[in-house]
Structures are given as structure tokens and as C-alpha cells.
Structure 1
Amino acid sequence: MASIRSRKHRNSSHLLALVAAALPAAAQAQEASLPAMTVKANADVPYKAESSASPKFTQKLVDTPQTVQVIKKEVLQEQGAASLMEALRNTPGITMQLGENGNTSAGDTFMMRGFSTQTATFVDGIRDLGAISRDVYNLDQIEVVKGPAGADIGRGAGSGYINLISKLPTRDGVNAATVGVGTANKLRATADFSQKVGETSALRINAMAQKGGVDGRDTVENSGYAIAPAFAIGLGTPTRFYFYSQHVRQDNIPDGGIPTIGMAGFYNATAAINAGSKVRRENYYGSKGDYEKVEADMLTAKVEHDLGNGSTLRNITRYGRTTMDRLMTGVAAGTTAFVATSANPATWTVNRNRQRVDQINEIIANQTSLNTSFDTAGLRHDLVAGVELMYERQKNLSFATAAQTINGVAYPATVNPNANLYSPNSGDNLGKPYATGAYTDGNTTTLAAYVFDTLKLNERFQLNGGVRFERFRTSTNSAALVGTAPTYQLTPGSLSVSDNLFSWKLGALYKPADNGSIYAAYANSKTPPGSSTFVLSATASSGDNAAFSPQETTNLEIGTKWELLNKRLNLSAAAYRTENDKQVSYNALDNSYSQFGKTRVEGIELAAVGQLTNFWQISAGVASMKTEALSNYSLSNNVATQNTGVRWSPELTATLWTSYTLGNLTLGGGARYVSEQKRVVAAGAAVSPMPNIPSYWVADLMAAYRVNKNLNLRLNVYNLFDKEYISTLNNGGTRMTLGTPRSAMLTAEMQF
């Protein structure tokens, strides 16, 4: 077998030497100390957040009638989490995804409460576009808001959203740095430098650099760096200005995954293949020419002005641009993905295809909001009102591998031979997909106004309501290949849709005690055509058909929240029912598509976050979820099928992380459980490869030792029992990524 050995196989002794060299330097740092792991009863609790950082939430979390989970940086630090996907393991009900046709979707791709949420990621309240795997180095906390949230963020918030809170300058910032080395020759370093400039100004720079392989994988590598400078003026005064930006560069060898043959539940109509054994998890089915390059830049200006009497006026302006250039080889989808030409498995092959992505995302946004409190007729109001103006754009170029003639120019087929199933050659030269000239270039402009009010009727009862009105216009300009294979003409096209959307939420809350609440909430959101990719369609069966009305999602939730142990521990419980209406469905009676399909998701979530004692922290959650597709039909090969559920929506998920401090030693660990995830959800569907992802659980371990007031050493061991499990599966069932095998990371944390 010929193979390419990546940089991750080189000796890592120089990385360990780097950590060792940092220890004496940190020990001689200026007077500063690491934050103590023990917390007094009334001090800040490492895992527990009192309030959301979003100005749209007017009350503390315990008095907010909605499921809002805050993942603080202390939890991420203990876990050694580097990516957003790793961080979101701390909340139940979120699952990761792969893409269509055997190829990996670009960037962070996940579902929450049965709905895709990958385009509902926000940074400081502004939508974050772009096919990028986000890092947590510049985050103070991650806020996971569940349930339809159209009133909060506008279109497309069918199951909630993720709000990433950036680190900003303060007058009492502490300088910190980390250096970590891990298995698969991973090296990661971060820095957080803060400097006070005069009495009311401060500078802060966060930076990150990393490189190395991927545990359990040959050839695959991730490398990149990022920097986030920020400057603040007027700190401690009524008027504060913040100027901050973030710049990310990634240069990766992408992972096309491995075939699912031999896994429990695998099926193929060919008996020999059906009885085939598993492939090595390290096998790389890509080509030496595969690459992934990402550039992401974000510039933000924010001003806050205190008007007096508890009123604050805010304005935030942002420009963001992300480019993704990727060439990746993956296992093809379909029943013919595996080829057995003899009885000898050593001769079996697997079909591959190459995916080329060239995508640009841009956003320009401006938000102005007012927070104020006042009394009317003896009733207390905590009110937020604001306006938003936004321009969002995504452009995608189209590529092909087949031989065809376009506008009179003949393009030959690119060479894309099968790979040996059990001994793939990562040195294969494969043809690079060529640009056809086709493209889609879509954009959405939005003008929105919103208002939220919390009305306190007395010390025990309060009402919470919010409305949002937005006027949007989505336009798609494109060039498509039109003709009869293999001869095509590039034909320009243009589609647009504009509409008014009205979203709302209403909640009622009762406080049986000062430290607890019981609530009921009802909310909606709307998802118009082209909401996620800005690409409108004229296809009758597409939900992005410009002639269709927006889908509407409604959510009813009842729950209770409590602060216990002198407000060091948050407990919460919620039960909800979410319905998504006006889905496009096939009607066999008149052979047409219309919007009568519906999806219903019902569930219960429990959570506990905070401290059990001064030395014992915990973050735990469990979610039970049932999905049901109602009147949801599709047509394939002239056969109508009924969908009965929602893909990748496990009935039970659970997560736990806890740590305990013994003097200078802190021990911690956690576990995650995900029940079976269905891939095949159509009634009477033919047997096909991997109809589901089997259930699994994974355990992690952490040990940290505080050497002195400036230095902390931490060891993280992931997948402690080396459990083999499917992390993600493609929609065709032929390709998967396995979860990380047993691996480790040693990190030196310094403050000075």
C-alpha cells in the first residue's frame, strides 16, 4: 500500500520541550495569580451564569421564560475544548451532520431539537455567515437559546439559535496564555493579552495558532491561526466605545471519512459485500491534492451610552466576509458505491467522487437598541426596543467532472478511479473538477423593528412578551447549464421574493419563592424560501420555490427554574411541543406539490449547572425528544413515500461534566450519551446501507495541578475507554466519520 505520511507522524519531542521551556518563565512572572478553583458562596460561580449577555433578555436566567443554556469559558477550559462543535457537547439535544452525496458539509453543521441550526449561529447578536469551523479562543461564553425565536433574531429560527459572546477589553484584565501538546502530533497555543491604557481605555488581543493531525486518521490534518484585537474607550464612563475585529485563516487537509461496510446494521444487496469486514479507521480515501482553505474576517464597532435612570442606548455595526476554497474526495453514495469483481476482498473497490467548493459569504449589519425601565400605573416595565438593517450574501461557483460541451467548448472528463476498499492509495492523482461557468449569487436585505417588555404585576407574577416586524427581499442571480446531456448552454436567471414577517413570543411567570420560577411560553418563527442559502428555486418540489409562503414554526413550553445552595446551583426542567407547518409535500391525488406537510417535535429537558460545594462543580443535562412527520410525502422514481420522522434526531441525549478540587489538584471528568439516530425515516423504504447510527456513550477524564500562582498544568484524556462509535453518517449511508479514539492533550496554562 502506498501512502502519504503527514506531519503528525514526526516526533513530538520538540513540542514537549516548548512546554518545559515555558514553565520557569511563567514561574518568574509578575505578581498575579491563577483564579482559585474554590468559590465562596456569594462569589462568581465558575460554571453558572446569572444572566444572558444579550440585551434582548431583560431578566436573569432564572426569571426568563425560555430554555437558555450558557456554556461558560471555565467549562471549555477544563475540557480543553477548541471548537464550537466540541463546546456544544455540553448541551443535550444537539447532533452533528454530514452532507449529501457522500460529501462533508462545510463548516459547523448541526441540528437542534429536530431542526437544522447551522445558519442560526450569531456573534454578539449578529448572524455569523460562512462555511467555517469556529474556534472558541475568543469567547467568554456560548449561549444556546432553544425553541422558535423569530422575535429574537428573525427569519429561520425554527428551533433556536447559538449566540457566541466575544471577549472584550476591561480595565482589570489579566494576561494569560496556554501551550498544549497532544496525540496525533497536535500543537495548540492561545494568548489573551490585556492592557489598561489610561484610566478609561484598554487594549485586548486574543490569538490562537494550531497544527497537527487528527486522532485515528492517516493524512488528515488541521492547521490555522487567528487574531482578535480589540480596543475600548470610555470604560467606567456613561459612554463606551468598542472597536474589535477577528481574522481567521485555516489550511486543512479535509476528511472524506471511511466506508460503512462491516458496521453493525450495514446492508448491501450483494451477499459478499454484505458480509464484508470493516475497513481500518485510519484509511484515507482522498487524494494528495485535497485541500481546504478558509479566510474569515469580521470588523465591529459598538457604542453604549447610559441615558440615566437605568436606560442604555446601544449601536453595533459589523462587516464580515468569509471565503471557502475546498477540494475533497469522499466515498460515493448509492447502492453501487461498493464494487466486488471477485470473491477476494483484497480486489474490492469503492467509488469516489470529488467535491469542490468555492464560496463567498458577506454580511453588513447595523443594530440600534434601547434598554429602559419605568413604571406605569404602579406596574414595572423592563423594555427593549430596537431596529436592525442587514445585508447578507452568498455566492457559489459550480464545478463538474463529466465530459460535456458548454457554450461550444468541450470539456473532457476528469479521471476519478475507484479506490481499493481495504488498501486505498492516498497518492492517487485524481482529476480536479473544472469550473463550468455556472453559479448562484444570492442576497437578502432586511429592515426589522422589535420590542420586548417584561411587565411585573407584583413580586410574584410577571408577563413577558416580544414582537418583531421585518421586511425582507431575497434575490438570486444565477447562470445555469441548460440543454440535453452532454451539450449545454449557460443561461442566466434571476428570481426574487419579498415579504413582511411578523414574529412574536409571550410568556407568563410565577415565582413561588425568590429563588425559583414556574413559567409557560408560546412563540413562533417563520422561514421563507431561500432563508438559509439565499438561493431561490423554480422547482415545484423545492421548499425554496419563490412562489411558496414562509414555513411557520410554533412552540409551547412549560418549565421551572431554581437557584439552590445559596444560589450556587441552577436546576431547570422544561417540556415543549414544536410544530413546523407549511412544508412542501407531494399530493398523489393531483400529482402536485403544495404546503400541507408538518413536523411535530415533543420533548423534555432537565439541567443542573453550578456548584454542589465550594470544591465541587457540575454541568449536566438530559433531553428526551420524539419527532413525527405529519402529512409529509415525497416522490422518488415515480413512487410516493411517506416520511414518518426526522433524521438525526435521537430520542435521548445526555451530557455530564464535573470537577472536584483537592488543594492544588483538580480532578474532573464527564460522559456523553446519544441514543439511536435514524437515517431512514420513510415508511416502507427499501433496505439500504446503515439505516441508523447506533447509540453510544463516551467518557472523558481531566486532571489539573496548580504548580504555583502563575502556572497550572492540565491533562485531558478523551474517550477514556476507547469506544468505537459512529459520530456522523452521510445521508446515503455509505460513508461515516468515527468518533475520536482514546487521545490526550497536555496543556500549560499561564497567567501573568
Structure 2
Amino acid sequence: MNAVGSKTAKSTSRRLPAKSLRNTSITASALSLSAAMLIPQQALAQDAPVKMLAPVKIEDTAIDPNPNAEVGVPYKARTSGDERHTRPLAETPQTISVLTKSQIDDSGYTDLVRILDAQPGITIGTGENGNAFGDRYIIRGQEARSDVFVDGLRDPGMTIRESFAIEQIEISKGPNSSFAGRGTSGGAINAITKQATNAFDFGKIGVGLGTDQHVRATVDVNHSFGEKFAVRANALYAYEEIPDRGPADRERKGLAVSGVFTPNDNLTLTLDYYGLRADDNPDLGSYLTDMLPTKGVPVYAQKQDFQSSDVDTFTARLAYSFSPDLRVMNLMRYGRSDNGYVVTGARGTTALDPDGDYASATLSTHQGWQDVEYFANQTNLFWDADLFGRKHDFIAGVEYTNHKVLNGVYNVNNTGSPNCMTGNATAPNSFCAIGPDGGAVNGLNTLLGREITRGNWDSDWGVETIAVYLLDTFDLTDRLSLFTGVRFDAYNFDLATQNSRTMALDRYKNSDSLWNGHVGVTYKVGGGGMFYASFASAADINGGESDVGTNSGYGGTVIYNGSIAGAAPERSINLEVGTKWNILDERLLLTAALFQSTKSDVMEGADYDSVGTFNTGKNRVRGVEFGVTGNVTDALTVQGGLTLMDSKVLKSATPDNVGKVLSNFAKYSAVLQAKYQLTEKFSFGGAVKYESKRFGGQPDTAASYAADGSYRVPVPGYAVFDLFATYQITDDLELRLNINNVGNKDYYLAVYRSGSFLYKGDGRTGRLTLTYDF
């Protein structure tokens, strides 16, 4: 008997508590009576023997509002939140890693950048000027900071991203522009948000307290008003000092509201709002000295420093079924985000104090603001058709997007008194964080005395795109299936730049089109197993990164002879073969994939100059990835993966780059999170994440190297261990303990290409979270 929790039974499941009865047994006598009542009268008249049924044990589970979840398997999703993937994930010819809300909650991580850092094949990068306004991700060695999607629509802007309103996170590995459009040379990240449902009511309140002044409060409430209308609201407040780096801190305020209206069985209208206010006093961590991490660097963030993201998005979904085999869905979104930062960097410059004694850790200022506005509309027609004796899942789609990003600068006036001398200076001309005694100088966090005002804009970036695509999945035989997809994008690119001091203005425009395709074949072998092969392409445009203007060395627009036009699109091809095994009554998914991604026609930047070269680069990534997700036993739940990769620059305008590894590229990475249900009330678990050594540098090209060819600017490899435990106090009340970075290990997430910033991972944290279901 299936557990309660399916969204298909509206009237029977409404207003059931989120925690329901567990391990209920029905006696044999009751079943015998029920069976006897169902026996036809003729059988009774003939004195037919009555077969006694054995006792049946019903395993009930908590209701999961995520429609994509595998019921009763908390870490495993059955389907993608993107309905264009018409088959279950276990039958999809592509590597797609899915992180469920249960797995995310157990991990203790809440910001998207820290959640993704724990996943194999993904590294974290720094951005232009030491920070790219928000989060920066690198998938299989390729930039993905502009390849973040929410419910299948691109989410532009380098914002800080939180998980309080997320149902599951989907990480698609490998180029795949037939789904996502431009970019996605290494893959894409798609966040599936929490949606209202009129299937049942539920509510959850969570309050967490912990070390480093950690406090986190969340509310998730869904209520139905009759059969046709329901509302779901999620709210967040969170604050903490950055572990071991206070008074640097993070603060989050969020609200997400979703309403669904179903006037009849054929029509569904959903309206959503998402808002986030993220306000940090950020810490850029350490720096390299003689190409090694510098230990014991004091917290030098200034009191006036900030990194903020104010996000507001509105989404409307309209779904209509013409018949059981024909339906249409329209997704429309308008969004704005205002992002800004003024942060302090430090580097190990040799300096002297006014008495001529040695000082170090000279401080610098890094800043910028970004206003994002975007509109998107995506319409998909789903048609399940029988053609030529085969059942086809056709999807025809059209998408319009208009993304606008205005970048600018702050006017920062440091009114403090310099306390050290650099270069040939004879009087103090710099600010140093470390004095002659090797300790922090007095008043370090107010040393610069900053006065900050918003300044002029320096780049006005925009891309308007119209795309059409056709996807089809069909069965050639009972075992053999084929997926095909093709997409056409036509875009208009517009970039205006102005010198924030001289106000000199330049304008660059370009229009072009992109064709991309995807073909995948799967073969079922029985026992829950299948093998697959896949070919997919991706394409990106000159100037595809919105946050860096014409700073071509960090992914910005490359200018040649005063123009951006004339560059062919960058092309990526992914070849992948793999196998997936959905075993143990579909409760455990095992995956393995062998892949090769080749990116050609790469536009190469020249340091920070706008001038670069068109289509001169080519690089390749080869590797193998293994994954495991689900229940190994009734008591043991796991989610993990292992990625082994190799990268190589195949062509470059700089001949010495050829043969080198890509920047920000980890050859080996692995994660395993496991949870064991020791008793009905008590469970415990842990996680280990490992990432090998990597080297900083410009995107899409070789890691930084010295004159002798040896790599420099390293990020040391690391392994970090986390622990957690959960106790079910009552059916409705749960207590969870998280201890992350148990060994309080010094580890680093990313390095700026000069080595002057070495982002430090969080130190040890301890947190207690009390959750009440109602």
C-alpha cells in the first residue's frame, strides 16, 4: 500500500498532519472480514474456501510537498522540476545531480555557493576586482556564473542566492544549450522553488541557534481555501558572524509567496513573489606569500564594508490541458536586483612603519554596484502523440528574454591616516593590517575611515533574445529510447561603456543567431539498469558575461579594431556515455558517466584590456563521474559523487598556454553525505567533501604559471568533515544538531589570479535547530 503523500489524491489527503502514523499493523482477522465481505454471493453459495490473508504492514511517511520527490526516500528526486525532461531522472541520457530539500537541511548549509561547493565537479571562483557582486560557480572547468536558472528561466545578475525557498537544486553537467540557450559550456544550475498546493495543508516553523552568534528562523506554511485556491508562504531571517572571522558577518531576510488557482480540472494559474535582502560585511580571508597561504591573518574588514543583494521577482504560470495528450504551459517573469559591494583586500606587500620597522598586509579597496532588470516569457506546448506506431513526447517551445545590467562604481574616500610606507616612500602612504610585532594594528577595523557614496555607471549591458526549440522523446522498442532536441536563438547585444572619470562614451552592438542540438539514446537492460550515449552542443556570445564590461581578461567583451562584431560564437561539444541503475525497488540510484567536453573558438582576453583575440582558443575536459543517491537500506540514506577529470588547453594565441591545465580546475573532487536512522526517533549522519589542488588564472585559459612553466597561484586541496544528528521529540517536534568543519580545518575556496585574495572556508560551527510541524 502506498504511503500518503502523493499529490494525486486531493480530497483524501487534505489537512492530514505533516507527520502521520508510522508502522501501523492491521490484524489478520480484520482483513479476513474485509475479504469475506467482498466475496461474490455465488462463491458463498458454493461454499468456496476463503483464503486467509497474512498481516499487512503499512509504512507511512511524512508528506513531502515536492511533486518531484521519490516518496519515502528523502535524498532522492524521481523527476526533474523542469517538465521539459519528460522521463524520470533515472532514464535521462545526461548527468543531472539533484539535491533535495531534505539533503540540504541535513547538510547545514544554506547559501547556494556553499551548497554547490560541496558537489563534485564544481569549484568556486573569485570575480573581477576580487568579487563578482555575488556567487561565481565553475562546472567542469567552465564558467557558469551566468548559467543559473530558477524554475527553468535564466536568473541574470551576480546576486547572493539563498535556499530557504528552494525545493530542490538540479545541476546539469556538460554543454546543453538546447534547453538553456546561450552559455552553459560546462553545465547549468536550476533551482526549483516551493509552490503552493491545494492537495493538503501543512506548516513548519524552524528556529536555529549556534556559535558565532548564529540565528536562523524560517516559516513554511501552505493553506488551501476549498478545492480551487491555495497559498504558500516562506519567510526567513538569519544572522551570523563569519566563523572565526568576526566581526565580519552575514544577514539574510527573505519572503516567498506562491498562490495557485485551479478553477477546473484543465486550468491552473500560479502567481509567485520572491524577495531577498542579503547584507554582509564580507571577509576576503587570506592571501598568498611565496605562493603559500598566509596563516594568522587578522580580520581586516572595515566597519563600513558591505556586500548586498536586494532581489525582487514576480512569476506567473498558466497551464491549460486541451486533452489528456495536449497541454500548454506559459511561464512569465519580471525581476529586479540591486547588488553592490565595497570590500577590503589585503596582500603581503613589504612595508615599513614610520619608525622603519617591518609591517605587512597592505590594504586595498575593491568595489562596484550593479542594477539588474529582466523580463522573460517561455511557452511550451506538450503533445503526447502516436506516430508511425511509436509514442512521442513532443515539446515545442518559444522563449523571449530581455536582460539588462547596469554596472557602476562607488566613490570611496579613505579619511584615515596611512600607517606604513611602501615602495620608495619616505612618509606613510599605505595602510597595513599587521604591525612590527606580527599582530593586528590598533583600530584595524576602522583604520581606513571610509566615506562611501554611489558613483557613475561604467557599463550598460543588454541582451534581447528570441528562441524557438523542438524536443522529442520516443521509444524505438520496449528497451530502446531516443531523445532529440534542436534550438535556435536570435539575439541583439548592446553594450555601452563610459569612463567614470572622463565620461567618455563607447557603444558596441552585435546581432547574430545560434543553433544547438542534443541527441541521446538509452537502452534498458532490466533490473532497473540502463545504458546511454549523448551528444550535446552549446554556444556563447562575445560579451556574454554581464558584470565586467570590456575587461576581456575576466570574461568581458573582447574588442578588435574597435568592434565586437565579427567574432564567431564560442562552441562547446559534449560527448558522454554512461549507465544508471535504479535499484532496490527504485529507492537507490547508481550512476556512472564517461565524458569529454571540447570548447572551441574561444575569445581570449589580454589581461584586463578590452583588446583581445577572436576565436583563438580551444580547450578540452575529459573525465568520469560516479554518483549514488537514495536508501541503501531502510535505515541508511546516502547522497554522494566522485569526479575525476583532466583538462588541457589545445589552442591559444599565447603558444606557451598550449598543454597547460585550465584555471580554477580541480582534477579530483568527491562528496558523501550519509544518514542512519538508528531508532524510530533518533538518526545521525555526516558528510565528507574533498577537492584537490587547483590554480588561479583567467577563465577559459591556462592556469597562471611562472617563467619556467611551473604553475603558481595555488588553492591547496582539502578534506572537510561535517556531522549532524536528529531527534524526533514528538511527532511534530524535531531537534537537529549540525557541527560543520568538525576539525576546524583551515581551507580555501578560491584564489584571485594575482594571489592577493585567497577566500577562506568557514571555520568550525555548531548549530541547534528546532522544527515544529503543524
Smaller-chain TM-score range? 0.7 to 0.9
TM-score for both structures, normalised by structure 2:
0.83
Corresponding residue of 2:156: 129
Post-superposition offset of 1:686: 6.3
Residue type at the aligned position of 2:729 = V
Is 1:48 the equivalent of 2:76?
Answer: yes
Q: 1:423 to 1:579 in 2, by over 3 A?
A: same
Structure 2 contact 18–202 (Cα < 8 Å) conserved: no
- Distance change in 2, residues 1:343/1:400 (3 Å): closer
Q: Does 1:418 align with 2:435?
A: no
Aligned position for 1:645? 661
What is the rounded CA distance, in whole Å, between the counterparts of 1:57 and 1:489 in structure 2?
Answer: 51
Does the Cα contact within 8 Å between 1:465 and 1:504 map onto a contact in 2? yes
Residue of structure 2 equivalent to 1:741: 763
Partner amino acid, structure 2, of 1:731: R
Following TM superposition, by how much is the alpha carbon of 1:340 offset from its aligned partner in structure 2, in angstroms?
4.1
In structure 2, runs of 5+ residues without a counterpart are 1-14, 24-58, 62-69, 415-427, 698-702
Task: Report how far residue 293 of structure 1 moved.
Answer: 2.8
Hey, what does 1:357 align to over in structure 2? 368
Which residue among 558, 563, 570 is the counterpart of 1:544?
Answer: 558
Q: Classify the secondary structure of the residue corresponding to 1:62.
A: helix
The CA distance in 2 between the partners of 1:37 and 1:686, in whole Å, is: 66
1:504: Cα distance to partner? 0.5
The CA deviation at 1:435 is 6.2
What CA distance in whole angstroms lies between the structure 2 residues aligned with 1:592 and 1:224?
40
**2:470 maps to 1:451:** yes
Aligned to 1:280, the other structure's residue is in SS state coil
Shift of 1:529: 0.8
1:411 is matched with none
Q: 1:562 to 1:329 in 2, by over 3 A?
A: same
Larger-gyration structure (1/2): 2
C-alpha distance in 2 between matches for 1:583 and 1:37: 57
- Partners of 1:260 and 1:690 within 8 A in 2: no
Shift in Å, 1:538 = 10
Pair 1:317-2:332 in alignment:
yes
- Find the aligned partners of 2:201 and 2:186 in 1 and give their Cα distance: 36
Deviates more, 1:718-727 or 1:705-714: 718-727
Provide the C-alpha distance between the structure 2 equivalents of 1:739 and 1:345, rounded to a whole number of angstroms.
Answer: 35
Q: For residue 317 of structure 2, what is the aligned residue in structure 1?
A: 302
Q: Evaluate the alpha carbon distance shift between residue 192 and residue 43 of structure 1 in structure 2; reply closer, same or farther with a 3 A threshold.
A: closer
Give the whole-Å Cα distance in 2 for the aligned partners of 1:419 and 1:187.
30
Pairing partner for 1:577 from 596, 599, 602: 596
Contiguous gaps of at least 5 residues in structure 1:
1-29, 268-277, 404-413, 482-487
SS at match of 2:499: strand
Equivalent of 2:629 in 602, 605, 609: 609
Offset from partner CA, 1:238-291 (integer Å, 9 cap, x none) = 1100011111112221213223348xx529xxxxxxxxxx4425x222222212
Question: Residue 708 of structure 1 corresponds to which residue in structure 2?
Answer: 730
Compared CA separation, residues 502 and 280, structure 1 to 2 (3 A): same
Partner residue of 1:34?
19
Report matched runs for 1:389-538 at 5 Å. Answer: 389-399=400-410, 417-420=431-434, 422-424=439-441, 425-432=444-451, 437=456, 439-480=458-499, 489-513=502-526, 515-533=528-546, 537=550
Which residue in 2 is equivalent to 1:660? 676
CA-to-partner distance for each residue in 1:598-640, whole Å, 9 max, x for gaps?
A: 01000100001000111110111000010101122449xxxx7
With over 3 angstroms needed to count, the CA separation of the structure-2 counterparts of 1:215 and 1:534, relative to structure 1, is closer
Q: Is the 8 A contact 1:37 1:615 kept in 2?
A: no
8 Å CA contact 2:219–2:234 kept in 1: the answer is yes
Preserved contact between residue 558 and residue 605 of structure 2 (Cα < 8 Å): no
Cα distance in 1 between the residues matched to 2:295 and 2:449 = 22
Q: Which among 585, 592, 599 is matched to residue 619 of structure 2? A: 599
- Give, in whole Å, the separation in 2 of the partners of 1:380 and 1:344: 84
1:266 corresponds to? 292
Amino acid across the alignment from 1:136: S
Task: Determine the structure 1 residue equivalent to 2:147.
Answer: 120
| Counterpart code for 2:98 | V
Match of 1:81 in 2: 109
Q: Which residue of 2 aligns with 1:20?
A: none
Q: Percent identity?
A: 27
Relative distance call for 1:40 and 1:235 in structure 2 (3 A) is farther
Q: Which amino acid aligns with 2:624?
A: I
Does the CA contact (< 8 Å) of 2:146 and 2:158 recur in 1?
no
CA 1:623/1:641 → structure 2, altered by over 3 Å: closer, same or farther?
Answer: closer
RMSD (CA atoms): 2.9
Q: Distance in 2 between matches of 1:220 and 1:35?
A: 43
The CA deviation at 1:419 is 2.9
- The amino acid across from 1:495 in the alignment is Y
Counterpart residue identity of residue 184, structure 2 = A
**AA in 2 matched with 1:671:** V
Residue 377 of structure 1 aligns with an amino acid whose one-letter code is F
Displacement after TM superposition at 1:438 (Å): 5.1
Query: CA 1:235–1:459 in structure 2 vs 1: closer, same or farther (change >3 Å)?
Result: farther
The residue that corresponds to 2:222 in the other structure is: 194
Distance 2:367 2:111 in 1: 24
Assess, with a 3 A threshold, how the Cα gap between structure 1 residues 306 and 330 changes in structure 2: closer, same or farther: same
Contact 1:543–1:583, Cα closer than 8 Å, also in 2 = no
Q: Distance in 2 between matches of 1:100 and 1:194?
A: 41
2:235 is aligned to 207
Q: Separation in 2 of the partners of 1:62 and 1:747? A: 33
Is structure 2 residue 307 aligned with structure 1 residue 292? Answer: yes
Instruction: Check the 8 A contact 2:547/2:556 in 1, yes or no.
Output: no
Q: Which residue of 1 aligns with 2:31?
A: none
On the 8 A contact 1:586/1:632 being kept in 2, the answer is: no
CA distance in 2, matches of 1:37, 1:210: 33
**Displacement of 1:400 after TM fit?**
6.5
Instruction: Find the counterpart in structure 2 of residue 271 from structure 1.
Output: none
Say how many residue pairs are matched.
Answer: 682
Structure 1: how far apart are the matches of 2:153 and 2:317? 12
Question: What secondary structure is seen at the aligned counterpart in 2 of 1:199?
Answer: coil
| Residue aligning to 1:94 | 122
| Residue 568 in structure 1 maps to residue 609 in structure 2 | no
Query: For 1:360 and 1:748, how far apart are their aligned partners in 2?
Result: 37
What does residue 251 of structure 1 align with? 279
CA offset at residue 57 of structure 1? 0.8
Cα pair distance change 1:420/1:345, threshold 3 Å: farther
- Tell which deviates more after alignment, 291-300 or 533-542: 533-542
Return closer, same or farther for 1:298/1:716 CA change in 2, 3 Å cut-off: same
Secondary structure of 1:649's partner?
Answer: coil
CA contact (8 A) 1:107 1:131 kept: yes
Query: What aligned pairs does 1:376-391 form with structure 2 within 5 A after superposition?
Result: 376-391=387-402
Taking structure 1 as reference, are residues 731 and 173 closer, same or farther at Cα in structure 2, changes over 3 Å only?
farther
Say if 1:495 and 1:537, in contact at 8 Å, map to a contact too.
Answer: no
* Distance change >3 Å, CA 53–CA 236, structure 1 → 2: farther
Relative distance call for 1:431 and 1:176 in structure 2 (3 A) is: closer
Determine if the alignment matches structure 1 residue 669 to structure 2 residue 701.
no
In the other structure, the counterpart of 2:177 is 150
AA of the residue aligned to 1:663: E
What SS does structure 2 have at the residue aligned with 1:231? strand
State the alpha-carbon separation in 1 of the partners of residues 636 and 79 from structure 2: 22
Separation (CA, whole Å) in 2 of partners of 1:357 and 1:423: 27
Residue by residue, what CA displacement relative to the aligned partner does 1:617-669 show, whole Å, maximum 9, x if unpaired? Answer: 0111000010101122449xxxx765711112111100000111122001111
Equivalent residue number for residue 622 of structure 1: 642
- Offset, 1:730: 1.8
Compute the displacement of 1:437 (Å). 3.8
- Alignment match, 1:679: 696
Task: Select 2:137's aligned residue among 105, 110, 118.
Answer: 110
Tell me how far apart the structure 2 counterparts of residues 448 and 226 of structure 1 sit (CA, whole Å).
32
CA shift, 1:690, in A, is 5.8
Alpha-carbon offset, residue 509 of structure 1? 1.2
User: Is contact 1:266–1:690 with CA below 8 Å preserved after alignment?
Assistant: no
| Distance apart, 1:165 and its partner CA | 0.5
